[in-house]
Amino acid sequence: MARLTIESLRKFFASTVAVDDFSLDVADGELVCLLGPSGSGKSTILRMIGGFEQPTSGAIRIDGQDVGRLSPDRRPTGMVFQSHALWSHMNVFNNIAFGLKLRHLPRAEIRRKVEAALELVGLGGYGHRQTFQLSGGQQQRVALARSLVLEPKILLLDEPFASLDQHLRERLREEVRDIQQRLGITTLFVTHGQDEALALADRIVVLRNGQCEQADAPDVIYRNPQTQFVAGFIGQMNFIAANVEGGTFRHPEMSVAIGAQDGPAVLAVRPEALGLVAAEGGAGVTVVRSTDFGSHIMVDVELSDGTRLKAMTSPAMRWERGTRARLVPSAYALYRDNKLVVSGTVGASTAAPAFGAAPLVV
């Protein structure tokens, strides 16, 4: 049962800044996802917590104790690597038992703990197998058991499912979530897949260029992105660039009354918050493609300035290529210099921050 505190962590490699002033507080039993594109510093943060990298400055505390200068073997953390990193010269049992043997536990106790750990990850009775006889998913479970058997205070997962296929990945992440909740273990999970983060996390930290863009619960991240980067990185998002003049965002095909200062800005609208209405005559935007996903239809439209937008519509209505349509946004957010200026719903007052929550307009 542990609490992880990270204070203004910095990491410089020779000439580049990998992590810049990163702070985070992870509560006991919480599962936090570090999400970001490659090179955003998420793995570096994890490796600094595990002790595999030296922070340039800043503090890492576990239950208030500063572990920043301890070597990995002295830290109460357990890491699961992307490449599973199982020791191929030992069988499954010995892989899991290695850490326990280092702690000089009695033989019977080691056996009991290893078997319990294998049971926990659903591999009971696999102890005598060689690691290379296992499938990718099983190998990753053994790696998880190897970390869990030592009952670490903090569990660190470094893109553990990246090398597995989609189907297996989805199953494993549910299992990991189950195990994590059952054990109540404080967990930090690094991924570049937003699905994984949305499905797993109590809280998501979106990183860019070594800095935290936003740290919030998954629904808040999705519905109320605080920066344009987060808005674009999580889920699908339409961006339209134009000027705000006299309290109105003015674009030839879409004008929205907005409480913002004049000047260039970017309007963000989720596909599910962008409705289409058939336009009379030659006005409006042009439908370029319509893709049927069964539950909904995704319609791609092109604006007169070449911008392409996606609109999610009900299967009840067919949109042929070349059809003219008018855009009816129901919820939006406005960004300027990557920062959120204002968000709101059309028709209602701007007070409601819920974003994309409005009913679909057909």
Partner 1 sequence: MADTAIPSAIGGSEPAIGRGLKGLLLVAIPVFLVGWLIIYPIIAAILSTLFVDGPQGVHFSTASYQFFFSDPYSRANLALTLWTTGLCAVLLLLVGLPIALYLRFSTSRFADLVQSLAIFPMFVPSIILSYALIRTIGPNGTLDILLNAIGLPKIPSPYLTPWGPVIGLVWDNLPLTVLMLTAGLGSISNSAVEAARDVGAGPIRVFWHIILPRMGNSILVTISFTVLGIFSSFTLPYVLGPASPEMMGPFMLRTFNDLYDPLNAKTQAVISFVFCLFFGLFYVWSIARNQRSQTR
Partner 2 sequence: MIRTYSSTSGRFDWTGFLFAVVLAIVIAVPLLVVFTWAFTEIWRYPAVIPQKFGLRFWNQTLSRADVWDALSISLQLSATVTALSALICLPAAYAFARMKFPGRDLFFLSFLASHAFPKFGLLVAIAAIFLQLNLIATFWGVVLIQLVGTLMLMIWIPVAAFQAVDRRMEEAARDVGAGPLRVFWSITLPQAGPTIFAAVLLTFVSTFYETEGAWLIGAPQIRTMPVLMINFINNQVVIQYGAVLSVILWVPSFIALMFARRVIGTGAFAKGFGA
Binding site for partner 1 (CB under 8 A): 13, 47, 51-54, 69-72
β-strand pairing of 31-35 with 203-208: parallel
- In the complex, minimum distance from the CB of residue 52 to partner 1, in angstroms, rounded to a whole number: 6
The binder of 53, among partner 1, partner 2, none, by C-beta within 5 to 8 A per type, is partner 1
For residue 95, what is the DSSP state? H
Which of 8, 16, 83, 130 touches partner 2 (CB under 8 A)? 83
Which of 8, 23, 65, 88 touches partner 2 (CB under 8 A)? 88
- How many helices (H) does the chain have, and how many strands (E)? 8, 21
Are 326 and 316 contacting, i.e. CB atoms less than 8 angstroms apart?
no
Q: What H or E segment, with its residue span, contains residue 203?
A: strand 203-208
Options 68-76, 119-127, 214-222, 255-263: segment touching partner 2 (CB under 8 A): 68-76
Amino acid at 67: V
SS3 22: strand
The binder of 69, among partner 1, partner 2, none, by C-beta within 5 to 8 A per type, is partner 1
Q: Which residue lies nearer to partner 2 by CB, 33 or 154? A: 154
Which of 9, 86, 215, 299 touches partner 2 (CB under 8 A)? 86
- For residue 86, CA distances in Å to 93, 115, 130, 136 come to 11, 17, 10, 11
Options 74-82, 196-204, 302-310, 348-356: segment touching partner 2 (CB under 8 A): 74-82
Q: Whose structure tokens read 């033989």?
A: 107
Task: Please give the Cα distance from 137 to 143 (Å, whole number).
Answer: 10
Which of 73, 166, 182, 280 touches partner 2 (CB under 8 A)? 73
Assess 143 for contact with partner 2 (CB under 8 A).
yes
The torsion angles phi and psi of 171, rounded to 5 degrees, stand at -70, -45
Assess 263 for contact with partner 2 (CB under 8 A).
no
Q: Which residue lies nearer to partner 1 by CB, 39 or 193? A: 39
Residues touching partner 2, count (CB under 8 A)? 26
Task: Please give the Cα distance from 318 to 320 (Å, whole number).
Answer: 6
Site string for partner 2, 299-338 (x = CB under 8 A): ----------------------------------------
Site string for partner 2, 145-164 (x = CB under 8 A): -xx--x--------------
Q: What is the three-state SS of 247-301?
A: CEEECCCCCEECCCCCEEEEEEECHHHEEEEECCCCCCEEEEEEEECCCCEEEEE
Q: Which residue lies nearer to partner 2 by CB, 105 or 279? A: 105
- In the complex, minimum distance from the CB of residue 359 to partner 1, in angstroms, rounded to a whole number: 46
Both structure tokens of 227: 């920066």
- In the complex, minimum distance from the CB of residue 164 to partner 2, in angstroms, rounded to a whole number: 17
For residue 227, what is the DSSP state? B
- In the complex, minimum distance from the CB of residue 213 to partner 2, in angstroms, rounded to a whole number: 28
Task: Please give the Cα distance from 161 to 77 (Å, whole number).
Answer: 19
The binder of 77, among partner 2, partner 1, none, by C-beta within 5 to 8 A per type, is partner 2
Assess 51 for contact with partner 2 (CB under 8 A).
yes
Q: What is the three-state SS of 127-172?
A: CCCEHHHCCHHHHHHHHHHHHHCCCCCEEEEECCCCCCCHHHHHHH
Q: Of 51, 38, 41, whose CA–CA distance to 18 is shortest?
A: 41
Residues that bind partner 2 (CB under 8 A): 50-52, 71-74, 77-79, 81-83, 85-89, 98-99, 102-103, 143, 146-147, 150
